[in-house]
Amino acid sequence: IRKLAFSRGRSINLSLSHRGRRALRLIHLEEEILEAAIPMKGRLLHDITGVTKSVPYDPVSNQKF
């Protein structure tokens, strides 16, 4: 999709767990998949008044998932 100039419809965030990455590593695909991946550093929370707050997934070690 990211290779297209325009993509219709909704997008989704699809996360990849450590277990999933280990499985990809075992079949020698982890590096290829991660080349197309975008790190998810955190989430954006919206309260009922519309105020947003950015919350990192791992503020201590700053790991990239």
Number of domains in the chain: 1
pTM: 0.54
Beta-carbon contacts of 21 under 8 Å, excluding residues fewer than 6 positions away, are: 30, 34
Write down how long the chain is: 65
On average, the pLDDT of the chain sits at 81
**pLDDT (tens digit per residue) in 46-62:** 889 989 999 887 766 55
Res. 29: pLDDT tops 80: yes
Res. 65: pLDDT tops 50: no
Range of the domain at 10: 1-65
**pLDDT (tens digit per residue) in 37-47:** 888 888 889 88
